[in-house]
Structure 1
Amino acid sequence: MKIISCIQAALVVASFSSVHAAPVSDPKGSGFSIPVYNNPQFAPNATKQVVRAWHKFNKLATSSRIGHVDVGTIPFIDDGNDLEYYASITVGTPGQTFKLDFDTGSSDLWFPYTGCGSACKGKTIYDPTKSSTYKKDGRPWSIQYGDGSTSSGILASDTISLGTLVIKDQTIDLAKTISTSFQNGPIDGLLGLGFDSITTVQGTKTPVDNLITQGLITDPVFGVFLGKASLGGGGEYVFGGYNKDKVGGTLTTIPVDNSQGFWGITVDGLSAGGKSVGKFNGILDTGTTLLLLTNDVASTLAASLGATDNNDGTYTVPCDANGLVDLVFSIGSAEFKVPKEDLVFQDNGKGACIAGFGYGNLPFAILGDVFLKNNYVVFNQKVPQVQIAPLAGL
């Protein structure tokens, strides 16, 4: 999860002839789009991103077709130097609109409701009394974040709409309190795209679970495109398929280890400027900004680039990317690149820059947005597996 700054999202309906209903060669289906914008005034904090990611994954480290819609496409808001991507969904009948961070590194769907106090000031507040499809549950939930604060509340269920995809009786986590991480910025909450084994309250189903079981998508997949602010920003999720126009080559199929509820893959090798710096297991996480490597791999990479360790999970590099080199990830039978320009994340105000990579004191890497905004990924929940290709146009 990441802290962001206020931007208004809007819903625009569109169709895509190039949207595929599965990772195959024939186009199928249509979708809808939410435009993506940047907030150029937001100053991201790399150290907070590392701490937040560590707390997010530390637990793992220690332990008939009537009304059927084949494909739904949701374009995204790209906020603050690619710090976070979010979109609007509606909840209830009639719909109440919320801006949510779509996060493959968690599995709960939560947002504030009328039981939340001053901490939710400025947020969109869900009012269950205004929804004819609201159903009370009442079980408690709670999530703790890296800064020690929590989001907590009670469970309920209601109809949610991801554009034209309408899910009935979706479990929703209604927040009475929200983490300080969310009190500033445009997002109202999170929509988790991890596996249901890591929902806060065991036995609850994720939105993707319900898209599949309610027959709203034919194929149990979603394609993810995260745009770069330097190229106009943007982004989209395609539920039930993927966008052919975003695939810049062949999709490579890679098995996923979901035993801990995450999208885990094996990176067979990482090289910098042709020099090997190691191999590792990693988690594909749209909810983490940076590329967080295992400590040993990060140290080797930093040495090869002449980066300085800030002793807080981040590194300092020159702001001129010409002195850096591209990273190449060997995954499955293919190679995927992170260009040297994306190894420069933010100016530290001292004549140098914070790197786009760091370390999280974890036994696995977190392949966050620095990796994902350079590559197109199709997530298959049932197999489970992912298919990855270089992003078209880069």
Structure 2
Amino acid sequence: MKLTASIAALLAVATFGSVEAAPVKAEQGQLHIPLAGNPHFTRNATASVLRAKSKYAKYVAHAFSGTGVVPMTDHLYDVMYYGEIQIGTPPQTLKLDFDTGSSDLWITSTSCTNCSPKQTKFDPSKSTTYKKDGRPWQIGYGDGSKASGILGTDTVRLGDLAITGQTIELAKQISGNFEDGSIDGLLGLGFNTITSVRGTKTPVDNLISQKLIDKPIFGVYLGKQSEGGGGEYVFGGYNKDHIAGELTTVKVDNSQGWYSVNVASTTIGGKQVGGSFDGILDTGTTLLLLTDSYAKKIAAAYGARDNGDGTFTINCDTSKLQPLQFTLGGAQFEVPSDSLIYAKQGNQCIAGFGYGGLPFAIIGDTFLKNNYVIFNQGVPEVQIAAAKH
């Protein structure tokens, strides 16, 4: 059955605790699932910087009709957005980090020797559609986090959409941040040129080639915990209900496998603070990470203090903070004052922006939870508008 798939993926970021919500039907072809977040999680900005820095470190050296719905869950209070997908026949449900900054689909498996008891482990022996590939794969990160195992193929269900013969990476061993048990793997939404094993197709590739979606696009809305959390992915379309302004088309450079865009300038209180820079739109990174020198310009404009670990201490009084504006495609997009504060530690606040020692910026959830983005793999390009919460 051919679908212009909209996978509404309700997302957010709260804590390790689970969140339950009943599906609620909206208009025809859409399913929205409200979620509640856990406000008691203690944020760690330094860890967020290290995670993003290590994620990209290995690459720096080289130079709507029908819909399918994936409900998502709040994790770590605006730190990570993940949702449930189903793999195998009969389906086994796992919760994955949805990540536009990578391209692998890897999951914990029953062969994993050190996975957390809290993690759901895919059992290939219980799936009649699983086929063993046997080739090895490994993902390594600069902070020591690793995942490795073997390849296989199986049916992957994103809501009502069933992708057949999808390459999956079954983890036999994990380490570092992956051991905390908060997720069962990762769903990469980047381009296939950066998959761990060359020649493998991503889920988005297969949604397109198997004609499960009419358009090679997906719309991303990330909720804000301060506005009730939630969020939504729409594959094959986008949700106008979460768009507050006009959509602006921005060209994408995908030569490195990412959704990289050019920011013409940044402005604070009507005054330009910095010039042009390139940045990766990455739903899998919590903060807005700029190049070291650029971040320090922004920090100086806000009177923020460099903590020496990629983070800044900033004024906790949002009434004294002007929004940070980005110019992309000739239009301005805003990070409001409330998102400039990532976490409060005692009587001090940690900024929602930082630096990671990289030659490019990572435009993470600090920006993305305030702006709706439609990712177009086919052109490639993105369309951006202010988000409506």
Per the normalisation by structure 1, the TM-score is 0.91
Query: Does 217-226 or 68-77 show the bigger shift?
Result: 68-77
Q: C-alpha offsets along residues 92-137 of structure 1, whole Å, 9 cap, x if unaligned?
A: 0011000111000000011111111233322101111110000000
1:210 has 2:206 as partner: yes
Superposed, which structure 2 residues align to 1:29-48 within 5 Å? 30-48=29-47
Q: Is the 8 A contact 2:249 2:382 kept in 1?
A: yes
- Find the residue that maps to 1:139 and give its secondary structure: strand
Q: Is the 8 A contact 1:376 1:389 kept in 2?
A: yes
Which residue in 1 is equivalent to 2:116? 120
Change (3 A) 1:219 1:59: same
Whole-angstrom distance in 2 between the partners of 1:359 and 1:177: 30
Shift in Å, 1:10: 5.4
In the alignment, structure 2 segments of 5+ residues that lack a partner are: 1-11
Which residue in 2 is equivalent to 1:308? 305
Whole-angstrom distance in 2 between the partners of 1:34 and 1:174: 29
Deviating beyond 6 angstroms after TM superposition, the runs of 4 or more aligned structure 1 residues are: none
Q: Is the 8 A contact 1:32 1:163 kept in 2?
A: no
Shift in Å, 1:3: 10
Shift in Å, 1:86: 0.8
1:368 has 2:364 as partner: yes
- Find the residue that maps to 1:361 and give its secondary structure: coil
Q: Is the 8 A contact 2:140 2:146 kept in 1?
A: yes
1:6 has 2:16 as partner: yes
1:291 has 2:288 as partner: yes
Question: Which of 156, 159, 183 is matched with 2:152 structurally?
Answer: 156
Q: Is the 8 A contact 2:14 2:78 kept in 1?
A: no
Which residue in 2 is equivalent to 1:267? 263
Per the normalisation by structure 2, the TM-score is 0.92
Q: C-alpha offsets along residues 128-168 of structure 1, whole Å, 9 cap, x if unaligned?
A: 11100000001111111242131111100110111101110
Aligned letter for 1:249? G
Which residue in 2 is equivalent to 1:21? none
1:329 has 2:326 as partner: yes
- Find the residue that maps to 2:170 and give its secondary structure: strand
Shift in Å, 1:45: 1.1
Whole-angstrom distance in 2 between the partners of 1:11 and 1:218: 29
Q: C-alpha offsets along residues 283-310 of structure 1, whole Å, 9 cap, x if unaligned?
A: 0000000001111211111111100000
- Find the residue that maps to 1:55 and give its secondary structure: helix
Question: Which of 135, 142, 165 is matched with 2:138 structurally?
Answer: 142
Shift in Å, 1:11: 7.8
Shift in Å, 1:40: 2.1
1:194 has 2:190 as partner: yes
Q: Is the 8 A contact 1:258 1:384 kept in 2?
A: yes
Aligned letter for 1:332? G
Q: Is the 8 A contact 1:155 1:173 kept in 2?
A: yes
Which residue in 2 is equivalent to 1:50? 49
Aligned letter for 2:193? S
Which residue in 1 is equivalent to 2:3? none
Shift in Å, 1:59: 2.9
Whole-angstrom distance in 1 between the partners of 2:21 and 2:174: 25
Shift in Å, 1:48: 1.1
Q: Is the 8 A contact 1:298 1:358 kept in 2?
A: yes
In the alignment, structure 1 segments of 5+ residues that lack a partner are: 18-28
Whole-angstrom distance in 1 between the partners of 2:36 and 2:148: 29
Which residue in 1 is equivalent to 2:240? 244
Q: Is the 8 A contact 1:120 1:177 kept in 2?
A: no
Which residue in 1 is equivalent to 2:165? 169
Aligned letter for 2:301? S
Query: Does 338-347 or 138-147 show the bigger shift?
Result: 138-147
Whole-angstrom distance in 1 between the partners of 2:244 and 2:13: 31
Aligned letter for 1:334? A
Change (3 A) 1:208 1:98: same
Whole-angstrom distance in 2 between the partners of 1:155 and 1:6: 28
Q: Is the 8 A contact 1:70 1:240 kept in 2?
A: no
Residue identity over aligned pairs, in percent, reads 56
Change (3 A) 1:359 1:309: same
Aligned letter for 1:207? P
Shift in Å, 1:175: 0.5
Aligned letter for 1:107? S
